Amino acid sequence: MDLRRILERLRRGEIDIDEAERIIRLWGIEEIENIVKYDIGRHLRRDVPEIIYGEGKSEEVVLRTVRRVLEHVDRVLISRVEEGHIAKLLSLKRDGYEVKVNKVARIVVVRRKDAERKHIPCKVGLVTGGTADVKVAEEVRTILEEYGCEVITLYDVGIAGLHRAIEAVRRLKKEDVDLVIVIAGMEGALPSIIATLIDVPVIGVPTSVGYGAGGKGQAALLSMLQSCPLGVAVVNIDGGVAAAIFALLVCNRLARRLSRVSKKKT
């Protein structure tokens, strides 16, 4: 039960104020069969999507957790899924849920049929250095689009062909994006190149693409952290979810501010 439903029951007289207070106090953490402790108030405190980390969890635990979470919110995402998880989650269609799978990104979206279609007036540029980075980019895209952002994708524009990166910046400027997420492995220089040519925040995502000394994302991470152009924020190696949530928080805040300004004008 979400906070709105509790308040509606209180308004209709179905529960008294003491019962409403008791429910709200119990509402913070829900234990799922002594395996998962789920924070059911997080989406209200932070206005971010519910994302279950699938890797390392059994198929049954993931399925039970998803079912329980959907009692409180209208949609949930499951990241780092494996084939067994996907098969189990697709079975939720029989119960009337909508299930969307992105196998490249290893992410699944499960929605209730009454889920609100979201729209945020925010445009995000999503850039990758190489094709090998696309799986992380698709994780970002799935999350942002599910929560209503417009995403402009520019894949395989790494600095091995610098003209590609410059052309990507032209496109980002033409699209008038509000921020850019740049995903790159190897030496990880692309976020710095983009940041020096554009006037919006850049989120750098190092990927584990690369080998030898500094491989598996280490060189890319350190390069992004040492970025000379100002205005580059960096998340962890392969941190697509972290980058998406960072961007979504910015977009949500921007949308609220625009809404308040619009109301004042009217």
- Residue 79 is given by DSSP the state E
Determine the 3-state secondary structure of 188 from DSSP.
coil
Q: Is residue 164, in this structure, part of any structural domain at all?
A: yes
pLDDT at residue number 2: 65
pLDDT at residue number 258: 80
Q: Which of 116, 131, 146 is the last residue of a domain?
A: 116
First to last CA, the chain: 35
Does residue 233 share a domain with residue 134?
A: yes
Does residue 167 share a domain with residue 47?
A: no
Does residue 239 share a domain with residue 151?
A: yes
Amino acid at 146: E
CATH no. for residue 50? 3.30.110
Q: Is residue 87, in this structure, part of any structural domain at all?
A: yes
pLDDT tens for 132-159 read 999 999 999 999 999 999 999 999 999 8
The residue among 249, 217, 127, 120 whose CA lies nearest residue 181 is 127
Pairing of strands 75-79, 107-111: antiparallel
Can you read off the two tokens belonging to residue 108?
Answer: 């699944």
Number of domains composing the chain: 2
Give one word for 144, left, alpha or beta, with left for phi > 0 and alpha for psi -120 to 50: alpha
Q: Which of 116, 149, 165 is the last residue of a domain?
A: 116
| Rounded Cα gap, residues 240 and 260, in angstroms | 30
Q: Which domain holds residue 41?
A: 36-116
Q: Is residue 263, in this structure, part of any structural domain at all?
A: no
The residue among 107, 103, 135, 127 whose CA lies nearest residue 209 is 135
Q: Is residue 96, in this structure, part of any structural domain at all?
A: yes
Does residue 238 share a domain with residue 152?
A: yes
Does residue 247 share a domain with residue 128?
A: yes
Q: Is residue 24, in this structure, part of any structural domain at all?
A: no
Q: CB 49: neighbour CB atoms within 10 A?
A: 21
Q: Is residue 17, in this structure, part of any structural domain at all?
A: no
Q: Which of 116, 134, 158 is the last residue of a domain?
A: 116
State which residues of the chain have pLDDT below 70.
1-2, 24-45, 266
User: Is residue 154 within 8 Å of residue 178, measured between CB atoms?
Assistant: no
Give exposure, 60-76, as e/b (b: 16+ Cβ within 10 Å).
ebbbbbbebbbebbbbb
| Rounded Cα gap, residues 3 and 24, in angstroms | 8
Q: Which residues contact 145 (CB under 8 A, 6 or more apart)?
A: 151
Does residue 178 share a domain with residue 56?
A: no
